[in-house]
Structure 1
Amino acid sequence: MPFATADDGVALHYQLHGSGEPLVLIAGQSNNHHWWDPVRDDFAARFTVVVLDHRGTGESDRPDTDTYSTPGFARDVLAVLDHAGIGCAHVYGTSMGGRVAQWLAADHPDRVDRLVLGCTSPGGPHGVERGPEVRRALTQADPDAVRRALLTLMYTPAWLAGQELTAPGREFHTLGDPTMPGYARRRHLRASARHDAWDALPRIKAPTLVVHGTDDVFNPAANAPLLAGRIPDARTLLVPGARHAYFEEFADAATEPVLDFLGQSSLP
């Protein structure tokens, strides 16, 4: 089980899967590397996939310090790449992972070959925030009600109807790392909420694909054209009918176009 060491000494757990050009998959807020489990092997069939646990999640250290930020998470990814001996990689980040990936590509252009930003936002005053009804649903006192709200934000009702939601062992890896302490969850939330990469986006040099589900209200789909318009020569892929976890439920529509985009690599 490999661990990298961040610039502040935090131990960061990561895994490598598959073979080929390196591809970093960056998970969303308060989630660990299992976020990618449903589609990881599809990418590992063509790439050396790097997945990691954000600080505060999974097997990584969980400091109760003011060291959680999207630029900081990007530096954590760099520490993982350095430890794995990877100079330049493709990067695919979704949700908060997409916010992290923006800083990685903007501040370290020599480390990112091709960039995919999924269901994410530029943040700050230029980003489109989720509506008040979504925020109310996620701040209910009943944890079961919050779980149900998250499920409907992530997945369509039709897809959920076909799932055994209460079956023993049934896990949804997009609903948050259940082992996280409360302080780490709050620090992840604050880090994502404070993200503002608007001024940095034009510095991104990597060919970029922006992917978003058209029915995503958790991170509104209106953010996709904002990102694509701000990043030079970025392309957009909208997944009709998809919600926030488009990459899982709509993998048949989303994975192959992303693989095709990444396959146009300039890596040696």
Structure 2
Amino acid sequence: MTSVPFVKSADQAEIYYEAHGSGEPLVLLSGQANTHHWWDRVRADFEAEHQVIVLDYLGTGESDKPADAEYSVRRFATDVISVLDELGIARAHVYGTSMGGKVAQWLAIDYPDRVGALALGCTSVGGVHGLKAAPEITRALAQPSVEAAREALIDLMYSPEWVREHPGPYGTLGGRMPSHARRAHLRASNGHDSWAVLDQVTAPTLVLHGTDDRFSPVDNAVILANRIPGAEVHYLEGARHAYFEEQREEASGAVLDFLAAHPID
């Protein structure tokens, strides 16, 4: 690890980040209400060839958790730029999964000169064009029993076979955060809608999705790719939302090959 500091965002909130490894910079962006530990199982796959940057979004982990701040995926993208500025990085590859894929879209839209290649995993264009989880899934996650809701989330993330072989702990189930921040993250993710401007993305783009993803239905992949000029799609057969862990070798390999084919100028 080369650094473990904080950076001030535009509104002076402290954002926690870490940088690991060396090589072309790569930002890894986690899912909603999750910290940088989302990537713990797979981060090493990228460190051999890249300087890997991870961060805690506003409201999560070690970052500030103000009640009166703006929480949006577009704002989270500006916080990533603050981190890159602090590290003196002019341009970085970006790989975002779930809500992190929404943040990554806005990075590519709002800051095209700062993004090398773009990888978008298990994510969506949002708005009326994005496909949402079925109502029964939403109800299962919102049930009063914390343990039952956790088991429902695990089932959305991983196949039962993988869970039996990998009993946890899991870094993808959300971190401890105040209720106001958790609600704000939900609003931020649900408020994402990039459909109208995705055709402005100029970064080479790879879209990844597990074919058995019920959290973000798999057809989101082709909807997303059809809006981004030249985007490619890689499906992970039989994988659920956390495809990047359950099918780690294939998923990390696909992203690494894509980044290698599109080096930063």
Q: TM-score, normalization: structure 2?
A: 0.97
CA deviation after TM superposition for structure 1 residue 163, in Å: 3.0
Counterpart in the other structure of 2:91: 88
Counterpart in the other structure of 1:218: 215
Counterpart residue type for residue 232 of structure 2: R
After superposition, the CA RMSD in angstroms is 0.8
Native 8 Å contact 1:140 1:146 kept in 2? yes
- In the TM superposition, structure 1's runs of 4+ consecutive aligned residues that sit over 3 Å from their partners are none
Counterpart residue type for residue 171 of structure 1: P
Counterpart in the other structure of 1:175: 173
Native 8 Å contact 1:103 1:200 kept in 2? no
Counterpart residue type for residue 146 of structure 2: P
Native 8 Å contact 1:105 1:112 kept in 2? yes
Native 8 Å contact 2:73 2:189 kept in 1? yes
Counterpart in the other structure of 1:262: 259
Q: Which whole-Å CA distance do the structure 2 matches of 1:258 and 1:82 have between them?
A: 24
Native 8 Å contact 2:204 2:262 kept in 1? no
Q: Which whole-Å CA distance do the structure 2 matches of 1:51 and 1:8 have between them?
A: 20
Counterpart in the other structure of 2:247: 250
Deviations 1:7-35 (A, max 9, x none): 01111110010000000000110000000
Counterpart residue type for residue 207 of structure 2: V
Aligned residues: 262
Counterpart in the other structure of 2:72: 69
Q: Which segments of 5 or more consecutive residues in structure 1 lack a partner in the other structure?
A: 165-169
Within the alignment, does 1:31 sit opposite 2:17 as a pair? no
Counterpart in the other structure of 2:126: 123
3-state SS in 2 of match to 1:76: helix
Counterpart residue type for residue 176 of structure 1: G
Match of 2:229 among 227, 232, 238: 232
Deviations 1:231-262 (A, max 9, x none): 00000000000000000111022111110001
3-state SS in 1 of match to 2:183: helix
Deviations 1:78-132 (A, max 9, x none): 1111111111000000000000000000111000010000000000001011101
Counterpart in the other structure of 2:117: 114
Match of 1:160 among 142, 159, 163: 163
Match of 1:202 among 199, 204, 216: 199
3-state SS in 2 of match to 1:19: coil
Counterpart in the other structure of 1:44: 47
Native 8 Å contact 2:236 2:251 kept in 1? yes
CA deviation after TM superposition for structure 1 residue 66, in Å: 4.2
Deviations 1:41-75 (A, max 9, x none): 11011100000000111111111124100100100
Counterpart in the other structure of 1:167: none
Q: Which whole-Å CA distance do the structure 2 matches of 1:171 and 1:79 have between them?
A: 31
Within the alignment, does 1:185 sit opposite 2:188 as a pair? no
Q: Which whole-Å CA distance do the structure 2 matches of 1:116 and 1:232 have between them?
A: 14
CA deviation after TM superposition for structure 1 residue 267, in Å: 1.6
Q: TM-score, normalization: structure 1?
A: 0.96
3-state SS in 2 of match to 1:38: coil
Q: Which segments of 5 or more consecutive residues in structure 2 lack a partner in the other structure?
A: none
Q: Which whole-Å CA distance do the structure 2 matches of 1:93 and 1:199 have between them?
A: 20
Q: Which whole-Å CA distance do the structure 1 matches of 2:69 and 2:89 have between them?
A: 28
3-state SS in 1 of match to 2:222: helix
Within the alignment, does 1:58 sit opposite 2:55 as a pair? no
Q: Which whole-Å CA distance do the structure 1 matches of 2:263 and 2:147 have between them?
A: 47
Native 8 Å contact 2:7 2:14 kept in 1? yes
3-state SS in 2 of match to 1:175: coil
Q: Which whole-Å CA distance do the structure 2 matches of 1:21 and 1:9 have between them?
A: 28
* Percent of pairs with identical residues: 56
Deviations 1:117-172 (A, max 9, x none): 000000000101110111010010000000000000000011112233xxxxx421
Counterpart in the other structure of 2:150: 147
